[in-house]
Structure 1
């Protein structure tokens, strides 16, 4: 007489087979519990018991509120090791600190591992030596943290010659267009527009732009585009509301004294700004100090808006409103795009561009609507 196989064991066996044959690649979501429960005609407790067995075996990752995801196992077509190439000493240093821990966490969730190396090391190695080293290290996918490409960089020729998938993170739509790399990125331009619009919605009409141009762009906008945005929103386009100090020509975290001087100049204008939009959250600190030196209260007498929130802005007084970047989502999407590289690496298939949503978080620094009558009195 054939021995009866418990329903839970049959589910475990079936799902294990699908995980191992690549039906559910690492990082992909399994059908929801309701779907699986109907498919196997079992109670929820039986299904969850089967999923628990596979989770204990390291084949599944259950994330509360999100679902159940396949982890790496031999045969499910997932890269075993990812190389993260970061421009550690260049412009996106902050991005490295914010993103690399999330990439490491996501790799661990998928049962993978990551190596990290400096952008400039790969440039020096060249394509041939890099290819040999990656093969020795069993690297089958690359995540690149860099931005502001022209398309002529030596490292691009090196990466294109490796014949393994590369995903650019922290870049922009312009980077995607010139590098021809799969790209997952935040829309800096969209986020900056959200910040400006928020200040307008709070009643501000004289907003100082405490930001610098990166190349020819100011947070994704050409000079003409940005003036058009301000005009469209009914905001002042006066030249004196932009930085005047010659030292503010590129991003530099050591500009605290210059930023304070700029705020002093702004607050001495005949029609001073009622709000200041900062290039980044880090610029908000010297702005706060300069405003307070004038006997004004941030969030009451003048609004201050941050940008590119990589840390919790509740820990500055008063708490800083900012456009927040979800680096966990960026890491998740980077691995997902790598997982689908079998499709987009085919000749003639366009390399994907994934726009990661941004979030406006309003805190005390901009929460109080501007009252023009109160200020004039």
Structure 2
């Protein structure tokens, strides 16, 4: 019969291979390594908790923790009255776990998300990991369904841009972590969870947009965003601060989901019509996302308003300026390529045990500015 090599006892005390890891994690890794090497084959019986504890000279509770972790990973099977056995699919599951990273996005075609996806896939590929990409359509329930499927696939790690149509429940992320799957939050944290965060500084984006618009000479501006939330609040706060108390700032927030383009376009058109019925309409717009700014550009043109002569336009997006209009759009930009690479590096570090799976490191991503051609000094009245 294939048996567990119990020569791990000394490793649990002083091996540099396991330095800094709790003993239950060391025991778990030892079992995993024997499954990978083929020493422990499918169906092999493991010693009882009491025998393992006695032979390895560790607490029985430590053994119990290690076995619980292996069971959560689907690597062992406990049969009441018979014992604990290596799962029939243990090696296949470990292979999947080693190979597959996941990226969950609220949308995949607009803004900087395509470039983020490409950079994530490239960084994962350099580590010989495959990638599965899930589109939540910015819906919390669809996001939950994707997470359940990723747990079933036993992926090696998940990077997620959380949906904003509602608050992401903490249990969605904890389910991943309880199954030994590390998580990195991109863009914004999920309150109540302990994960590394690659944070977009939304308030600073609003400030930089306001500074550039104010420096160009605008004193009447409008801020357009989709959906009320922490990011929108931070955009507005920073924008108002930079524009100053003497500036006239209008705020328009669409009632539609950020991926509900039909509703957004209808709401936005109505807002533009109302603004330009005034004797003194805004001379500059700041939009919370490049795809939104592009839509507004076209809607202004349909109404005979010239950008930037009649109305200046500033968006927010990534450094990769794909598409004819995006290249000309004046925008605050963030390094989405660096975000993808950092997310993969963080997941790999947690997977190797170098960083705790519940580490709460927050990295603020740097901002820059794409000058474009859509910001112009207002015409004198």
Go from structure 1 to structure 2 and tell me whether the alpha carbon gap of 1:156 and 1:231 turns closer, same or farther (over 3 Å shift): same
Is 1:111 matched with 2:120? no
Partner of 2:56: none
1:258 to 249, 267, 289: 267
Deviates more, 1:336-345 or 1:321-330: 336-345
SS in structure 1 of the partner of residue 261 of structure 2: coil
Go from structure 1 to structure 2 and tell me whether the alpha carbon gap of 1:345 and 1:242 turns closer, same or farther (over 3 Å shift): same
Matches within 5 A, 1:212-361: 212-215=226-229, 218=232, 220-221=234-235, 225=237, 229=241, 232=244, 234-237=246-249, 241-243=250-252, 248=255, 250-251=257-258, 252-254=260-262, 255-309=264-318, 312=321, 315-316=324-325, 319-341=328-350, 342-345=353-356, 350-361=359-370
> What is the deviation of 1:325?
2.9
Partner of 1:165: 182
Q: Report the aligned-residue RMSD.
A: 3.5
Partner of 2:161: 145
Deviates more, 1:272-281 or 1:90-99: 90-99
Q: Is the 8 A contact 2:206 2:238 kept in 1?
A: no
Go from structure 1 to structure 2 and tell me whether the alpha carbon gap of 1:178 and 1:201 turns closer, same or farther (over 3 Å shift): farther
In structure 1, runs of 5+ residues without a counterpart are 1-20, 22-78
Q: Is the 8 A contact 1:81 1:115 kept in 2?
A: no
Go from structure 1 to structure 2 and tell me whether the alpha carbon gap of 1:214 and 1:343 turns closer, same or farther (over 3 Å shift): farther
In structure 2, runs of 5+ residues without a counterpart are 1-16, 18-96
Partner of 1:6: none
> What is the deviation of 1:219?
5.2
> What is the deviation of 1:158?
0.9
SS in structure 2 of the partner of residue 306 of structure 1: strand
Cα distance in 1 for residues equivalent to 2:147 and 2:298: 47
> Taking structure 2 as the reference length, what is the TM-score of the superposition?
0.61
Partner of 1:203: 217
Aligned length: 277
Cα distance in 1 for residues equivalent to 2:240 and 2:216: 20
Q: Is the 8 A contact 1:298 1:318 kept in 2?
A: no
Matches within 5 A, 1:30-41: none
Q: Deviations over 1:159-186 (max 9, x none)?
A: 121123221223x1xx254321112232
Q: Deviations over 1:233-268 (max 9, x none)?
A: 64224xxx2228xx6355332222432332222122
Q: Is the 8 A contact 2:151 2:176 kept in 1?
A: no
> What is the deviation of 1:364?
1.1
